Structure 1
Amino acid sequence: MTTFIFDVLKDLQKSNCNFSNLTFVMPSKRAGLFLKHQLSQVANETIFSPSIISIEAFVEDLSELRKISNTELLFEFYNTYIQLTKESEKDTFEVFSKWAQVLIQDFNEIDRYLIHQDNIFNYLSAIKEIEYKHWSVEEEQSGLIKKYLAFWNKLGSYYSRFTDILLSKKIGYQGLIYREAVENIESYIQSNTDKQHIFLGFNALNTAEETIIQELLQNDMAKIYWDIDQVFFDNPKHDAGLFARQHKANWLYFKKHPFNWITNNYSNHKNISVFGIPKNIGQAKYIGSLLNSLKDKNPSLQNTAVILGDENLLIPTLNSLPNDIEALNITMGFPLKSIPLASLFESLFHVHKTYSTLLYYRDVINIVSHQFISVLFQDNASKIIETIDNNNLIYLSPNRLRDMAPEASEIINLLFLNWNGVDRVLENCLQLILYIKTYLDRDKTSNLLSLEYLFRFNELFNELVRLNSKYNHIKDITTLHSIYKELLTSETLDFQGEPLQGLQVMGMLESRVLDFETVIISGVNEGILPSGKNNNSFIPFDVKIENTLPTYKEKDAVYTYHFYRLLQRAKNIYIIYNTEADVLNGGEKSRFITQLELDPTHQIKHAIVAPQVPVIEAKLNIVEKNDSVLEILKDVAEKGFSPSSLTNYIRNPIDFYYQKVLKIREFDEVEETVAANTLGTVVHNTLEDFYKPLVGSFLTINSIQNLKKLISETVMLHFADVYKEGDIKTGKNLIIFEIAKRYVSNFLDLEIQDLRAGNQIKIMAIEKKSTVQVDIDQLDFPVRLTGMVDRIDERNGLIRIIDYKTGKVEQTEVEVVNWEDITLDYKKYSKSFQVLLYAYMMQLSGSIKLPIEAGIISFKNLNNGFLKFAKKDRIGPHAKKDTLITQETINNFSTELKQLILEICNNEIPFTEKEV
């Protein structure tokens, strides 16, 4: 395969051109590298390298202006803005930057296309005047409309003053540089009559570029080589040839000179395959699969390019590449915003943008656990996080942080103190980078990439320092954050690779002038290729048409040309698009694919590819019991099975295994909102405090009423004990605090109501802890039961075992029909199992005598009072209920309980997960 660059060099060689005296002007710097490489293959003798320059660098030399960054342009433009705007009407720099970027882009377009600015600005001003003045129903204009119209009237003066200032400083944006280059072209021609310029690979040219190139052509100081195929050029409706047709028709030079070149490469045989793949990650993975298959025929993947239509696919694509690629070159930079260090500074800006004396715990944890910060804290990072969790700290001060880790006071001060003022913030960021660098320098070899990250961020913050010291427009940290993000978005970390060898990974624009035998193009969807109707401009569509400024149609034609130019000389073409509908990008395959499918020139293979998703059978987790597990179970049995552990086994045996055998505990974390179990603990502890002094005595209405006076104080005390330093004075937590007080108050009211009805209640035990041994003949080791009963009382001579529940419990949840069901259905019978187990334990310990009652008091169902356990003779509304727990009840329950314990301790019955 011969490339376009090679063909141009061979043509120049036939013309007996002296390569050393030529100046090659290319669309991009990258194309120049390939030209230099292929020049060595064409030259028959040793020569001095010709001058190879990009069009932007060439025009910058012509203009004698220096291009500055978009961010610095904003600062310069703000200087102009404040000079021309009344003090009372000035926007802050942050607000200004939002609309000024669009206006600078419009200035850029106007200058690149050599439009006289008055043609645009006077027109726009007149349009707005018509819209808001003559069409308004109000005779008197409001202040807002007056300000709005004044803005449009000032556009011309903004432009004139801004460009004058830039020219006086010998700097400019791209459009101004192009306009000045056109002004200087005659002087350049007179001073460089012996220079010969070769323009190659151009397509869409702005008016300034057209003027410069035509002037050089007319003075016999240049040659230009186009790269357009006959198929596209001859089709008046094909956008790939739109600009080439216009140039050939409109340039006077081509009335007498040939149009080099119109080729016939596209009509050659090609293998074109189109693959529809769901999701972007699917595309990246499929690129990896394609490359793996291509390596069988071309191990080095030489002359192979991956073109990413959507540049956000870079990282997933790199992660999907085969591991054994010999040589790789990536022309797209790695965006700084994707580097881990960016998330650290984003977190710091987030914390300090809104000044507060207290720090939110999640923000603190995010920062101290960050990979670049935790190494500075060493063990103190985990110490801080544990202290926050253990004390349930939602908000904390920097002083509290220092108390947690006194050894890390210096770094805590740097991260969380003295971030007032822009200069101070920038100083802290640079100081933090030095801290991290000092640590990484201990092992430079292992930390080369991290040190490169630091270097780039050091450059970024130094640039912010320079801009702010020079212009002094950044007045607060919010504005600084906005400008920081603007710089961060535009900065990339360049890859090192082999630009002339192996696989090439690039964006669509980097492929200009280059040819590859095998091309993989991803992201070929509408809204990406082409990009669609994006109009980020103050200039309306009709005004652009009137002044021959480019619209979305011309921008689409640019991408059409680049897409089809990639196909011209390629032999193997793989086009990939996303089949999944996307709200932002539409999810529709690109019109380029549809054009290819309708084009009779080539046969297109089309396939929808689904990722290989292995069918994984949903198998329930089964854990066999070995000798070591049985030893642990014996230990658990000897210490005692609690009601909660047994009901946990009923609910799901595998959870019992995790909790009791593997000793896996639930992770304790900060409760921002009081959890249900915390509320339950507070209510239980409050009632324990109230009733413990009353054990052994009969309740009186007066004693309960006295307790009501202590509710608020006691509930607060227990919240402080259980919820630690969590805030219960605001928001949802205040509501939950009030709910806890209401639960206790309502329970005491229920107690008073019961006493007023003439019932006698004697408190026998509160929070009664008991451990009893159970005789199970089949087991050769002791088995104990252990638990704590919330309350045991005697009501009218009948003993009651009461379990408190802060959740809602219905009467049907403490009723049993068939005894064998009680250990099978957790959801239906767990409450019955629990209260019967308490009754069984109390009976074994000798604390009570049968018959008794056992049941639940539900704080969300207090209207139904004491929910007694009941044995029903059948299912249905007419079933008979027996609420007394007799020896027969206990015997029936103990039979099922022992069967359950035998199952747990049986080495032949594995722990089997239940379907949830």
Structure 2
Amino acid sequence: MKAFLEELAEKIYRDHGTQLDRVTIVFPNRRAGLFFRKYLAENLEKPIWSPAIMSLEDFVQPLSLIQPLDKLSLVFKLFGLYKKIYPVKEAFDRFFYWGEMLLKDFDDIDKYLVNAKNLFVNLSRQKELDQVFDYLTEEQKKIILDFWHNFHEHPSKEKENFLKIWEILFELYDRFTTLLKKEKSGYMGMIYRDVVDKIKAGTLSSPYDQVIFAGFNALTKSEEEIIGWFLKEGHASVHWDIDDFYVSNKNQEAGLFFREYAKKNAFKESFSKPLPSHMTNAEEKHITVTGVSMAVGQAKILGQYLKEEFSHPEQYEKTVIILPEEHLLFPVLHSLPDEVERINVTMGFPLRNTSLYSLFEHLLEMQINLRKTKSGEVFFPHRQVLAILKHPYVRYFDPELAERNIRDIERNNKIFISSETLQFDGVLYPLIFKTLQTGSEIFSYLLDILMVINTGNEEDSQYQLEKEYAYQFFTQLNRLREITREQGIELALDSFLRLFRQMVQSLRLPFSGEPLRGLQIMGVLESRNLDFENVFILSMNEGAFPSSAGQHSFIPYNLRKAFDLPTYDHLDAIYAYLFYRLLQRAKNVHLFYNTESGINIGGEMSRFLQQLLLEADFKIQKYVLNNGVKLPVPKVITINKSKQIKGEMKRFMADQPEFSKRLTPSAINTYLDCELKFYLRHIAQIREPEKLEDEVDPRVFGNLLHHTMEFLYKHFINWKKKNAVTAGDFDFLEKNLEEAINMAFKIQYQIPEHKNFTFEGRNILAKAMVKKFAKKILENDRQYAPFDVIGLEADEEEGYHIDHPVLIEGKQHMIGLKGVIDRIDSKEAVVRVIDYKTGRDDRRIEDISSLFDAGHEKRNKAGMQTLFYSMLFAESKPEDISAVMPGIFNSKEMFADHFDPRLKIRESESQNKYVPINDARPFLAEFRQELSALLAEIFSTKDSFEQTQNEKNCQTCPYAGICHR
């Protein structure tokens, strides 16, 4: 079956022969002209002059003295007039979106030859409608009247705002077009209207000899007038790319416009009888409809179809892949078989989907969110800094440098980052991490960074693509800088970011290739007038093909319909035509749709597919592909204590040469929670991922309180030169509490001591909570005073560690133990071992054995930890005859009246009464016995490390991903 352009080439050559140089052929787009030249060349026997081949816009433009302006310049001019007419102050970045919408509306008004003054009148009275709009049909009048009647019937603030803007739209349109005409510049709608005005005035002269209009579908009113004039002059003809299947069937929206044109005098003679009937030749057509889960699934099955059905490279030359959704381009490219040697992509790729755009967003957000102190110091926000350092452009520029900075920020929990703390290179980092003083510096900031990162391997195809991205951004930024300078507009950073986002939304990267060779990949609109033997169309879903019906316009649907402006009904008809014309001459058609719901896609088959399945008499094969989803049962992980693992565990044996580690009460609690977690963390030494905490979670809050109390008492001891604390000292301690809290935040967030910490957002609340807890601790300490502070955050460096004897495989070994004790104080022969707890920890324990029973419902981790600390102190200071009192300052009880920090133990199994532990030493013998048994299990008696059966423990476990809990 011959292609439309092939038939057209043969006819034109027959009709015009060697006089083709006198012919001008006009297509809806330039791409059709490339294929037409190919078919025309196949008919030639000797060299001749080529006909002029152009798009309709290129054809019309020389007929007018108005020159088209770029969109950005037009929006700026429109903004200048808008500010003069509308008294409300509005920044350009906020106007840009509305400006684009107004331009589109003005363009429609001119292309459809609508009387703008009549359109923008507030039509609320029937009399006005009868007098001013006598040229409208009764149906059109009714639509307009119903709209305004409903609009005024229920006034609201939104409607009032709409009316205010609506009332200035004609003045804005009139002054805008007048200004542009004086400058002999404008938009395409103005050019079309200008040509039509010349036709009506009888002043239009044509520079063309013979004109052929080919392959058009939905013409605007101005296009109809222009083409009709050329037809009337007798030097033009029209050739339609149509099929009887949808033109003769009034229920088929694909033929909507052709049925209207066939009734008009200017066009009726151009419709041949009978109409072409390629669609109904079903014997030559093989159509399959395939439902596939997810967008990437469509790309994968497409690649499989190509590999299975096409055995020869020449078949790819006759094949097209249509992508209604742009984001499928790269999944499709990566899914193509290796046999595909040549590919031609004809569609724009959104610049907003490029990695370069995401880098610019991070850079601008970093500049917007940076913090300056009163002294002029600058701190960058960690989120944007990490996003920039991890970004491919920056990370690959110097991988080692980026990794060092990332590791330093995450490991040290740096929330606010000074440029002084970053490791710099000599090229890129100084450009990125600097402070912009004025809005005008934005352009040079981004352009300088763009120039540096736009370096790479010139022979790398991927680099060539990235270079195209860079060129597009470079062009747009330079153009925006020029226009803002011309208009005298100073953009703030946040305004620039909003404007930049809006600009990039509509920008596309045009791909270039060999249009006439290889497998063709294109968008829906790019397929106009092109025919292929093999057609693959993806994303045949509602909302994708056709796209969703949303139309951004100041002109409501009712008024658009009344004034014959395009509505989404028009768009549906256009896309229906594009769909059916792709099928009408094809031999093999594969249509894919996504069976899963997603963003803007409901997993619903396109209405075009539904029509094809229900209305057409074709034999269509339908498939729905899916993989049965069955969640695998997580395997139980068991780590056998091999010889190698036992060798690793010798690190904890003080009597072994490999000794280098000591077990803490936290490690003991980890083992009781989950043996596998203990193995992963302490034996295999698999580090938990560095997690930067910018919010005050329970762990961070606990650290802040510990740092505050430690600094407060250490500062006091250094000032007083002794450890004794009396009731009279608490005025000094409370006075210095604010400084201690500030220091705690500096320590937590790695702020140098000589710099100030700025409290903002949630940190203000966190500071207030830390202060509340610390003041309550001081209040209890005041009541307990006088006492001596023996140790603060004391660990093995202070001597609080021991070597604990354990019988392992018949031989006694010494297991190294240690613990960091928050505070140790003494008073009247009583040593208190204090632990600060900001969570819901309880001070009551059932008995000593329950502390080491992994399955006990009331196992008290904090109680075990505090008794462990008491054991460390007692054994480290055997000469001390004081009582060792374990205590917990816990938020659960600390604010109650008559708070007592002492740990409590159940008096007997039969009674629900708990008594304070005034001296831990009588309990330590049983504690050591239970601890020894547990350590023996860890190091010998049990053959493996098992997963916990209590999956509640897995909810916050950092290793949950390893065992799939």
Asked if Structure 1 and Structure 2 have the same fold, meaning a TM-score greater than 0.5 normalized by the shorter chain, the answer is yes
SS in 2 for 1:520: strand
Q: Once structures 1 and 2 are overlaid, which stretch shifts more, 330-339 or 317-326?
A: 317-326
1:550 aligned partner, one-letter code: P
Q: How does 1:415-430 map to 2 (within 5 A)?
A: 415-422=433-440, 424-430=441-447
Tell me how far apart the structure 1 counterparts of residues 729 and 172 of structure 2 sit (CA, whole Å): 83
Q: Which residue of structure 1 lines up, in the alignment, with residue 288 of structure 2?
A: 273
Amino acid at match of 2:287: I
Partner of 1:900: 934
Deviation at 1:62, TM superposition (A): 2.8
Structure 1 residue 203, shift from structure 2 partner: 1.3
Report SS of the residue matched to 1:557: helix
1:636 aligns with 2:652: yes
Q: Is the 8 A contact 1:774 1:782 kept in 2?
A: yes
Cα distance in 2, alignment partners of residues 90 and 388 from structure 1: 43
Residue 332 of structure 2 corresponds to residue 317 of structure 1: yes
Task: Trace 1:469-488 onto structure 2 (pairs within 5 A).
Answer: 469-473=485-489, 476-488=492-504
Give the CA deviation at 1:601: 0.8
SS in 1 for 2:228: helix
Aligned to 1:334: 349
Q: Which amino acid aligns with 1:305?
A: V
Tell me how far apart the structure 2 counterparts of residues 886 and 419 of structure 1 sit (CA, whole Å).
Answer: 63
Q: What is the Cα deviation at residue 173 of structure 1?
A: 1.2
Instruction: Determine the structure 2 residue equivalent to 1:3.
Output: 3
- Aligned counterparts of 1:729 and 1:477: Cα–Cα separation in 2: 23
Compute the TM-score of the two structures, normalised by the length of structure 1.
Answer: 0.85
Matches of 1:433 and 1:236, distance apart in 2: 55
1:226 maps to what in 2? 240
Aligned residue for 1:117?
A: 116
Which amino acid in 2 is paired with 1:360?
Answer: F
Partner of 2:93: 94
Cα deviations by residue, 1:592-613 (Å, 9 ceiling, x for unpaired) = 1221222141233334333565
Structure 2 match to 1:181 = 195
- Aligned partner letter, 1:646: I
Helix, strand or coil at the partner of 2:703: helix
Residues 277 and 444 of structure 1, relative CA distance in 2, 3 Å threshold: closer
Unpaired runs of at least 5, structure 2: 130-143, 373-377, 655-660, 955-965
How far, CA to CA, are the matches of 2:363 and 2:15 in structure 1?
63
Q: Which residue of 2 aligns with 1:868?
A: 903
C-alpha separation in 2, matches of 1:264 and 1:30: 23
Match of 2:943 among 889, 905, 909: 909
In terms of mean alpha carbon deviation, does 329-338 or 121-130 score higher? 121-130
Contact 2:867 / 2:886 at 8 angstroms: preserved in 1?
yes
Q: 1:361 aligns with which of 376, 381, 387?
A: 381
Structure 2 Cα separation of the partners of residues 256 and 389 of structure 1: 72
SS state of the match for residue 531, structure 1?
coil
Deviations 1:427-451 (A, max 9, x none): 33333333334x5489989844444
Partners in 2 of 1:716 and 1:763 — Cα distance? Answer: 23
Matched, 1:681 2:684: no
Q: Residue 449 of structure 2 aligns to which amino acid in structure 1?
A: L
8 Å contact 1:645–1:656 — kept in the other structure? Answer: yes
Letter in 1 for 2:250: P
Q: Cα distance 1:124–1:513, how it changes in 2: closer, same or farther (>3 A)?
A: farther
Q: Contact 1:803–1:855 at 8 Å: present in 2 too?
A: yes
Q: 1:841 to 1:501 in 2, by over 3 A?
A: same
* 2:768 matches 1:743: no
Matched, 1:307 2:314: no
Q: Is 1:805 aligned with 2:837? A: yes
Aligned position for 1:43 = 44
State the 1:504 CA deviation: 1.8
In structure 2, do the counterparts of structure 1 residues 498 and 661 end up closer, same or farther at CA, with 3 Å as the change threshold?
Answer: farther
Residues 509-530 of structure 1 deviation map (CA, whole Å, 9 limit, x = unaligned): 1111112222222222333322
Contact 1:807/1:859 (8 A) holds in 2: yes
Give the partner amino acid of 2:890: S
Structure 1 SS opposite 2:694: coil
CA distance, structure 1, for counterparts of residue 102 and residue 587 of structure 2: 44
1:467 paired with 2:483, answer yes
1:211 alignment partner, SS class:
helix
Residue 661 of structure 1, CA deviation:
3.1
* 1:317 partner letter: V
Assess if the C-alpha contact under 8 Å between 1:816 and 1:822 holds in 2.
Answer: no
* 3-state SS of 1:542 partner: helix
CA deviation profile, 1:692-711 (whole Å, cap 9, x unmatched): 79999998656677755654
Partners of 1:899 and 1:117 in 2: CA distance: 92
Structure 1, unpaired ranges of 5+: none
Select between 290-299 and 731-740 the one with higher mean Cα deviation: 290-299
In the aligned structure 2, how far is the partner of 1:231 from the partner of 1:686?
86
Partner of 1:815: 846
* Percent identity of paired positions between Structure 1 and Structure 2: 28
Structural mapping, 1:363-382, within 5 Å: 363-373=384-394, 381=402
Contact kept, 8 Å, 2:724 with 2:788, in 1: the verdict is yes
> Which residues in structure 2 correspond to 1:505-544 (within 5 Å)?
505-544=521-560
- Aligned-pair distance for 1:4? 1.6
Which deviations, in whole Å up to 9, do the C-alpha atoms of 1:860-886 show, x marking residues without a partner? 322462353536764x76589896888
Shift of 1:506: 1.2
Q: Partner residue of 1:164?
A: 178
Indicate the residue corresponding to 2:657 in structure 1: none
State the AA in 2 paired with 1:727: F
How far residue 626 of structure 1 moved from its aligned partner, in angstroms, is 4.3
Aligned residue runs from structure 1 range 631-670, under 5 A? 631-638=647-654, 639-666=661-688
The superposition leaves residues 808-835 of structure 1 with CA deviations (integer Å, 9 ceiling, x where unpaired) of 22245x2238559525569834334334
Match of 1:236 in 2: 250
State how far apart, in whole Å, the 1-side matches of 2:171 and 2:922 are: 100
For 1:278-298, what per-residue CA distance to the aligned partner results, in whole angstroms no more than 9, with x for missing partners? 443444444344434434587
Change beyond 3 A, Cα 1:532–1:436:
closer
- Between 452-461 and 348-357, the greater mean CA deviation after superposition: 348-357
3-state secondary structure, aligned to 1:529: coil
- For residue 200 of structure 1, report the CA deviation from its aligned partner: 2.0
Structure 1 residues 687 and 579: alpha-carbon distance in aligned structure 2, compared to 1, 3 A threshold: same
User: Structure 1's 581 and 877: CA in aligned 2 closer, same or farther, altered over 3 A?
Assistant: farther
Contact in 1 for aligned 2:101/2:553 (Cα 8 Å): yes
Secondary structure of 2:592's aligned partner: strand
TM-score by length of 2: 0.81
Rounded Cα–Cα distance in structure 2 between residues aligned with 1:847 and 1:684 = 29
Alignment of 1:185-204 (within 5 A): 195-204=209-218
Q: Is the 8 A contact 2:560 2:567 kept in 1?
A: yes
CA distance in 2, matches of 1:789, 1:152: 73
Q: Is the 8 A contact 2:112 2:565 kept in 1?
A: yes
Q: CA deviation at 1:177?
A: 1.8
Counterpart-to-counterpart distance in 2, 1:444 and 1:522: 30
Q: Which residue of 1 aligns with 2:576?
A: 560
Distance change >3 Å, CA 849–CA 356, structure 1 → 2: closer
Match of 2:276 among 256, 262, 266: 262
Shift of 1:95: 4.0
Distance 1:260 1:844 in 2: 107
Return the alpha-carbon distance in structure 2 between the equivalents of residues 698 and 477 of structure 1. 56
2:138 aligned partner:
none
Equivalent pair of 2:831/2:884 in contact (CA under 8 Å): yes
CA contact (8 A) 1:800 1:852 kept: yes
Which deviations, in whole Å up to 9, do the C-alpha atoms of 1:119-147 show, x marking residues without a partner? 32346697999979996999xx99x9999
Tell me if structure 2 keeps the 8 A contact 1:27–1:55. Answer: yes
Once the two structures are TM-superposed, the CA of residue 569 in structure 1 deviates from its matched residue by 1.8
Shift in CA distance, 650/176, structure 1 to aligned 2, threshold 3 Å: same
SS in 2 for 1:228: coil
CA distance in 2: counterparts of 1:353 and 1:160, whole angstroms: 39
Which residue identity lines up with residue 510 of structure 1 in the other structure?
E
User: Deviation of residue 665 (structure 1)?
Assistant: 4.3
Aligned-partner SS, 1:527: coil
What corresponds to 2:802 in structure 1? 771
Residue type at the aligned position of 1:488: V
1:3 is aligned with what amino acid?
Answer: A
Q: CA RMSD in A?
A: 4.4
For 2:348 and 2:935, how far apart are their aligned partners in 1? 64
